[in-house]
A and B are shown apart, each in its own frame.
Chain A
């Protein structure tokens, strides 16, 4: 028997003990680990990839946003110079040349995350984890060694990956998913995108801005069904103006590579699309294969995700699950919060009241963002609502920066006093939303926006314009200011404005 064999045998039998074990180093697992380490706990982080960071750093958020920045510089130049210097990307451009900064951005972020782990004294093992029982995990290293560790608390943060329907032959070469899209060699002249969720819309608009002829196909009548439809309609207008086509109410019937130069997509209505490349964005699945959840007494629900309570605790009390593996909202931001929350709950660290107001930021071109209730949700809950609107082209900043298709909607209670939700489309939406989010959380009120002074010229002025719009409607409805009903009093049912901007 060789020494190494004896060594690994011994290690096999030995079980190293930890207070907290975290599986997966994406935003959720990373935050959970840091929180545990900061609380002085002996913590182990297990990651199967060579580098930490998860989908967020390596396959999603950061790479897509880096490419977006290039696309944006390109469209912004065109808009700001009113097309005086016609710019067109050269055909045959290599995708890598559009992302020269990506490697640097990823490395910097990854270094920052690793350094944070090291500084806080967290232990990290590179390997794949699976449950042996509810307290013990086995780690398989890339060299094929197996070792064991046990934890008083175990946090599952294994994330998600793109779903590949059986009838879409994803080969990561011509038919790609969001994990492989950016590995493409050259900028395709045409791209069909299946799906119209966040990732689909982000990539569709980025490539359209880069000059690719993009066709998005989805069964929904409009993309991003969960967003305010007025906002989405403006987004579709912008996408169409950039040369994109949205084919709603349809589904792919067949996808195949023709063996020569095109991916041929046949839709259920008989339409045939031919494109250089295809991006399959039909949802994501939780990474649970290989984890052997059953050994820990756990199972996924009918949506394929691990069910948890408000503090991310699973049905086995000392096991938590956080991030994409528990399903929507599936954002890096919410994943981090869940990671922190789970560990605080496990360690009995007092948690501030969980905020219900998680904003959604969608980095399409133009950006979209929303927080709180939409007009329809407000009507459903309070029997009515007042909506203030501000169009970016009516703001000085919007004009100067040549921002088209910008709209901010401020949704208030039927009495027009309390802000209940904000929806924005337009460049800067994902930053701008936080002003509204703070107002919402602190019940700052519609009048607060009117009474306070904003920098000029800014896009933030949109809040003021929208608030004034509400005040105008309020004054018409309730000439005596004091007679306005309070939130929740279904006094007057005001229909939301028609969805098409006037």
Chain B
């Protein structure tokens, strides 16, 4: 249910409405220039921390690292013509090291004041759940990478950004529903999100000039075996995604199902190592809840 409008508010059968909606939505998506909106509370936090000259740089770095949208925008701007790095900036840490905290502070303020804020009435809770889930996925993804001695920064970033396609799609869905003056069932919205978020997220990351491997990892996080070059990273993200659902949702996952997760074997995660990851659950949960 959206804006109190039930499915097929207009004439025609349910199937026809869904089809009309879907095709309109798809045409909007094609060629669309996505922008990732900011949660109002993230904007507030940045204003508070970055606006205060005396505030701890560490605090600001933390705020940026714990919000997918902020992190994405920082990287987008760090890679833009204004700063014109000789080669693209590929991680948050690198952006901070190269630009210095003062510039990062400036950038954060620009983002907080100029980025579109989420206006997705009816979906607020869902959007917050996605952001919370992303923090947890970033935390787990980096733990798996640490365990395997793989690239921790990449793992963190792909975890943080893997679902950015969802809020973007939701925003668009709401707009399309308004344009067509109809509402669609939550189930249909969810289906569309599931089907399309990986691709949209990947396009978003690409548009920020982040390395192709990050975009590929995100594109394939639900079918890692098909990733042409980043199978390992996509598998890591796939497992981290599931662990994040276990820790903070939104999907319900049991420990039992994680013990037979298909990525454990290819990632060579032994039983005690999985136990080690599962032990982080409370820590990850409190980390995600501290922010959202």
Contact residues of A with B, CB < 8 Å? 48-50, 59, 90-94, 128, 140, 142-144, 171-174, 179-180, 183-186, 189, 258-261, 276
Contacts and interface: CB of A to CB of B under 8 A. Distances in A.
B90 A173 contact: no
Interface in B71-102: 85-91, 93-94, 96-98, 100-101
B290 to A, nearest CB: 16
Nearest to A143: B265
B151 A183 contact: yes
A183 B149 contact: yes
Please list the 7 inter-chain residue pairs (A to B) with the smallest Cβ-Cβ separation, ordered nearest first.
A259-B58, A173-B152, A183-B151, A180-B149, A92-B87, A185-B153, A260-B57
A91 B58 contact: no
Nearest to B154: A185
B142 to A, nearest CB: 7
Interface string B58-76: 1001100000000000000
B223 interface: no
A142 B152 contact: no
30 contacts: A48-B268, A48-B270, A90-B86, A91-B85, A91-B86, A92-B90, A92-B94, A93-B87, A94-B211, A140-B271, A142-B265, A171-B152, A172-B145, A172-B152, A173-B142, A183-B145, A183-B151, A183-B152, A184-B153, A185-B90, A185-B91, A185-B153, A186-B91, A259-B61, A259-B62, A260-B61, A260-B96, A261-B93, A261-B96, A261-B100
Contacts of B100: 261
Interface string B252-292: 00000001000011101111000000000000000000000
B211 to A, nearest CB: 7
A286 to B, nearest CB: 19
Contact of B270 (A90, A94, A128, A186): A128
A92 B88 CA distance: 7
B146 interface: yes
A186 B87 CA distance: 10
B91 to A, nearest CB: 5
Contact of B89 (A92, A140, A171, A258): A92
Contacts of A92: 85-90, 94, 98
Interface of B: 57-58, 61-62, 85-91, 93-94, 96-98, 100-101, 142, 145-146, 149-154, 211, 259, 264-266, 268-271
B97 A189 contact: yes
A376 B188 CA distance: 81
A173 B152 CA distance: 6
B215 to A, nearest CB: 15
Given A91-B98, A92-B85, A173 B146 contact: yes
A172 B142 CA distance: 10
Nearest to A181: B149
Given A92-B94, A128-B270, A171 B86 contact: no
A176 to B, nearest CB: 9
Given A91-B85, A185-B91, A186-B91, 8 more contacts: A140-B270, A172-B146, A174-B93, A179-B149, A185-B154, A260-B58, A261-B96, A261-B101
A90 B87 contact: yes
Given A185-B154, A186-B90, A258 B269 contact: no
A59 B149 contact: yes
A189 B58 CA distance: 20
Contacts of B90: 92, 94, 185-186
A185 B179 CA distance: 44
A258 B58 contact: yes
A50 B153 contact: no
Nearest to B150: A183
Contacts of A173: 142, 146, 152-153
A49 B270 contact: no
A276 B87 contact: no
B40 to A, nearest CB: 26
A143 B85 CA distance: 46
Contacts of B142: 173
Contacts of A144: 259, 270-271
Contacts of A48: 268, 270
A49 B146 contact: no
B146 A50 contact: no
A371 to B, nearest CB: 33
B268 to A, nearest CB: 5
A59 B150 CA distance: 11
- The residue in B152, B154, B265, B271 that gathers the most chain A C-beta atoms within 10 A of its C-beta is B152
Contacts of B86: 90-92
B269 A142 contact: yes
Given A183-B149, A185-B91, A186-B90, A260 B270 contact: no
Nearest to B91: A185
Given A173-B153, A180-B149, A94 B87 contact: yes
A94 to B, nearest CB: 6
A49 B268 contact: yes
Contacts of A185: 90-91, 94, 151, 153-154
Nearest to A49: B268
Contacts of A91: 85-87, 98
